[in-house]
Structure 1
Amino acid sequence: MRYNPGSYVNIDYDASSQQFRRFFVSFAACISGFNSCRPLLFLDGTFFKGKYKGQLLAATAKDGNNGLFPVAFAIVDSETTANWSWFLHELGKVVDGNRQITFISDRNLGLLEAMPKVFPSAHHGYCLQHLKSNLRDRMKGIDNGFRDHLVSSLGDCAYEPTVVGFHEKLAKLKEEGKQRAHDFFKDLAPEHWANSYFRGMRYGEMTSNAAESFNNWIKEARNLPITQMVDTIRTQLMRQMFARWLR
């Protein structure tokens, strides 16, 4: 905080035991830079790889050149509803509340429960790649070629621009996939994954690949103790922004 004025950091701990619980970080350059990015954030969590267990939650945007632009991250013990709710509450303190933000995620259960409570007016898009993977798992045991056809049909439904066309494609997919397909789509609201129903701005982003790329970008840092991990990520961010400034 001393050397990065304007940054926002919150260390959450148990007051009675003084035991560390959670750690949220958003650097000033990330906060101000996001105001010049599209109001689109990719959310995801990733495991630590060293002997210090836990998870890192992150909100990542894209810059004008379609490159990664990390906005905020947090250290937590696991991807629970409580931790996602806390992370989103903290995130709400660093993003402009007057902008209509669209979030894209892999549908983590804790995130699904926390999102409408913390960002009730935001739009939440589901990652198409994860949906395809979930459908592929649901269709285990059938011919691989036919299963690939059903997964491809899911993509056709998601990209379909008209409501009429969407329902025609979805009806055909359900008919071909039978009961398992009907069960898969039963609680999958189209306003979260189908272009014809989505009311937010996805800017053509149908997957949460940016979040996956961020996880890979900090792969080495995930082996470190918490304080070293945070400082390593800070250093990577500083180098990234300096390289962009030189361009």
Structure 2
Amino acid sequence: MSSAVARGRNNGIFPIAITVVETESKETWTWLMTNLLQAISGLKDYGCTFISNKQKGLVSTFDELLLGANHQYYVRHMHANFKGQYKERIFKDEMWMATTSYIVHGFEQHIEKFWSWTRVHITG
């Protein structure tokens, strides 16, 4: 299942499109995005941000259909990927705390601990 949602004036989210596809691939993402662009005139002009979980074909579809669109990864999926790859809690915890902080100082404090840990433990 694939979906597109938007954020309203009260910061609530609401569904724009929901589809069931056989597999998540470049072809199905292209189909969804093409139909979405046709259904919502001016979508390219609104300064949209697309958030995904790194599905196959999605980034290249954005690059082809939405030149200049801002694309970000959903931090919950990144956190889950880190949990499987890195066993140390500080890595996962500091990344999560930084990205969910409501104040700049809190973000900076946690992201510095996160980067300090990565510089010591991750090579390449």
Deviations 1:185-216 (A, max 9, x none): xxxxxxxxxxxxxxxxxxxxxxxxxxxxxxxx
CA distance in 1, matches of 2:73, 2:86: 20
Letter matched to residue 90 of structure 2: H
Distance 1:113 1:138, change over 3 A: same
Which residue of 27, 39, 43 corresponds with 1:94? 39
CA apart distance, 1:86:
1.6
Q: Which has the larger radius of gyration?
A: 1
- Higher relative CO (Cα under 8 Å, sequence separation at least 6) belongs to 1
Q: Is the 8 A contact 2:79 2:92 kept in 1?
A: yes
- 1:20-72 Cα distance to aligned partner (Å, 9 max, x none): xxxxxxxxxxxxxxxxxxxxxxxxxxxxxxxxxxxx21101132333331111
Contact 1:154 1:173 in 2 (8 A): no
Query: 1:104, 1:124 within 8 Å by CA — same for their partners in 2?
Result: yes
Aligned-pair CA distance for 1:167: 7.9
Instruction: Number of aligned residue pairs: give it.
Output: 117
d(CA) in 2 for partners of 1:167 and 1:69? 31
Q: Which residue of the other structure, out of 79, 93, 107, is the alignment partner of 1:152?
A: 93
* Pair 1:83 & 2:24 matched: no
Describe the superposition over 1:118-168 as per-residue Cα deviations: whole angstroms up to 9, x where unpaired.
11211011111111111111014xxxxxx2221122235546969xx5985
SS at match of 1:79: coil
Match of residue 173, structure 1, among 97, 113, 117: 117
Kindly, what percent of the aligned residue pairs are identical?
A: 23
TM-score normalised to the size of structure 2?
A: 0.75
Please give the alpha-carbon distance, in whole angstroms, between the structure 1 residues aligned to 2:12 and 2:111: 35
Residue type matched to 2:71 in 1? Answer: H
CA contact (8 A) 1:156 1:169 kept: no
Shift of 1:170: 4.8
- Name the structure with the higher helix share: 2
What residue identity is the alignment partner of 2:19? A
Structure 1 equivalent of residue 55 of structure 2: 108
Distance across 2 between alignment mates of 1:59 and 1:148: 33
Aligned pairs for 1:226-241 within 5 A: none
Is 1:66 aligned to residue 11 of structure 2? yes
The AA in structure 2 aligned to 1:90 is: N
AA aligned to 1:87 is L
- CA distance in 2 between counterparts of 1:68 and 1:100 reads 17
RMSD, aligned α-carbons: 2.7
The letter of the residue matching 2:85 is: R
Deviation of residue 100 (structure 1)?
0.8
Structure 2 SS opposite 1:93: helix
Counterpart in the other structure of 1:134: 81
For 1:168 and 1:149, how far apart are their aligned partners in 2? 12
For the 8 Å contact 2:50–2:69, the answer to whether it is kept is: yes
